[in-house]
Amino acid sequence: MTDTIKEQQVIEKHNESADLMKMIFSSNQQSGSMEFFSGNLRTISCFDYQILKKATKNFHVDNLLGSGGFGPVYQGKLADGKMVAVKQLSLNKSQQGEKEFLVEVTTITSIQHKNLVRLLGCCIDGPQRILVYEYMKNRSLDLFIHGNSDQFLDWRTRFQIILGIARGLQYLHEDSHQRIVHRDIKASNILLDDKFQPKIGDFGLARFFPEDQAYLSTQFAGTLGYTAPEYAIRGELSEKADIYSFGVLLLEIICCRKNTEHTLPSEMQYLPEYAWKVYENARILDIVDPRLQQHGFVEKDVMQAIHVAFLCLQPHAHLRPPMSEIVALLTFKIEMVTTPMRPAFLDRRPRKDEEKDCSRALSQTFTSPICDH
């Protein structure tokens, strides 16, 4: 099939959305995508399914980067050599029509910041909905702090990652034209480029899954340790839920461990709880990753970062500082004056075999998420 025929087919496929998307460019021969201008003059690219199939070697398992709550993600190489990450949204969850899907893609494409992963475009093929992102060479933060990676991240790199995440979140919450609550801030959603600059991934994804609660309940177990109590129990969602998750992530980066680790002695299993105990005993630097202790770190910066984490983990959402303040605190632009309250944590953790039923168990078992003793 010639390129012109292929292009024609893609154009025909999108005729339905012609009222919304006015196509004014011919295809980008290099990448195999077509560019559209949306109503407010922002470009989005629509990739031909065959091109993505080729780029990912027919969605081969060897190219599978991972599989989250929205569907599998594959590494791909376009004809021009550009690397991409191809996310196939799960069909049973994303029931969105073509037009609605394109509206959301346009919105997400328009949200750009150096600490947010760039959405390059999408693909619609029958019921398939695919998102194409820039490929991040060092994949995601979980591989370094939860995985078996031998690569050691020094304090400078970790601080760069912490600050970058904070700036990305500040942009989403306060500076972008759309106010966006991420909902799923966690280590696997922090992607790292070749220089270990962090970029937040998966923001705006909830837009493709109109039934928010369905997404929450299927993903709940894996993300529980990051979830703010008011969101976990009462479904109250605001920027403050992201700020809570950021606090958990901050501790994970400093300590180089998962927030919940059932293999550890019981008092150490839940990181915020353990960190608070150590903090109360004035031994807070004991929780720092031993490899970081050996290598050396800037004590003042680490203390400040831990203090910020505790501010983010406070039980009442309104006490948690906004991201702009967090950035200012981390960079010592403003003085730390607040003493954090004891973090909110759920006082019973699910065992592995209970995790699937976790949201049900929580709502049945707890009247309050907060231990206030």
Residues designated as active site: 184
Site string for ligand ATP, 132-151 (x = CB under 6 A): -x-xx--xx-----------
User: Using an 8 Å Cβ cutoff, are 129 and 297 in contact?
Assistant: no
Picked from ligand ATP, Mg ion, none, the partner binding residue 73 (CB below 5 to 8 A depending on kind) is: ligand ATP
User: Using an 8 Å Cβ cutoff, are 348 and 198 in contact?
Assistant: no
| CA–CA separation, 27 and 106 (whole Å) | 18
| CA–CA separation, 48 and 286 (whole Å) | 53
151 Rama sector, left if φ>0, alpha if ψ -120 to 50, beta otherwise = beta
Site string for ligand ATP, 68-107 (x = CB under 6 A): xxx--x-----------x----------------------
Residues in the chain: 373
Site string for ligand ATP, 187-216 (x = CB under 6 A): -xx-x---------xx--------------
Please pick, from the candidates 27, 31, 219, 324, the single residue that binds ligand ATP as defined by CB under 6 A: 219
| Region binding ligand ATP by CB under 6 A among candidate stretches 1-9, 184-192, 328-336, 345-353 | 184-192
| Residues numbered 340-369 forming contacts with ligand ATP, rule: CB under 6 A | none
| CA–CA separation, 182 and 57 (whole Å) | 31
- Please classify residue 180 by burial: count the beta carbons closer than 10 Å to its beta carbon, then call 0-12 exposed, 13-18 middle and 19+ buried: buried
CA proximity to 354, closest of 265, 264, 269, 262:
262
Q: How far is the CB of 184 from Mg ion (least distance, A)?
A: 7
- Which residue is at the shortest CB distance from ligand ATP? 68
Give the residues lining the site for Mg ion (CB under 5 A): 68, 189, 202
Nearer residue to Mg ion within complex by CB, 253 or 308: 253
| Region binding ligand ATP by CB under 6 A among candidate stretches 13-21, 62-70, 169-177, 362-370 | 62-70
3 state DSSP class of 268: helix
| Region binding ligand ATP by CB under 6 A among candidate stretches 121-129, 186-194, 240-248, 319-327 | 186-194
CB proximity list for 277: less than 8 A, separation 6 or greater:
267
By CB under 6 A, is residue 184 in contact with ligand ATP? yes
Q: How far is the CB of 192 from ligand ATP (least distance, A)?
A: 9
User: Using an 8 Å Cβ cutoff, are 111 and 159 in contact?
Assistant: no
Picked from Mg ion, ligand ATP, none, the partner binding residue 66 (CB below 5 to 8 A depending on kind) is: ligand ATP
Nearer residue to ligand ATP within complex by CB, 215 or 270: 215
Nearer residue to Mg ion within complex by CB, 46 or 136: 136
Beta strands in the chain (DSSP E): 27-28, 33-37, 43-47, 64-68, 71-77, 83-88, 119-125, 128-134, 190-192, 198-200
Nearer residue to ligand ATP within complex by CB, 96 or 188: 188
How many residues form the binding site for ligand ATP (CB under 6 A)? 21
| CA–CA separation, 317 and 231 (whole Å) | 10
DSSP 143-204: HHHTS---PPP-HHHHHHHHHHHHHHHHIIIIISSS----S--SGGGEEE-TT--EEE-STT
Contacts with ligand ATP, residue ranges (CB under 6 A): 65-70, 73, 85, 117, 133, 135-136, 139-140, 184, 188-189, 191, 201-202, 219
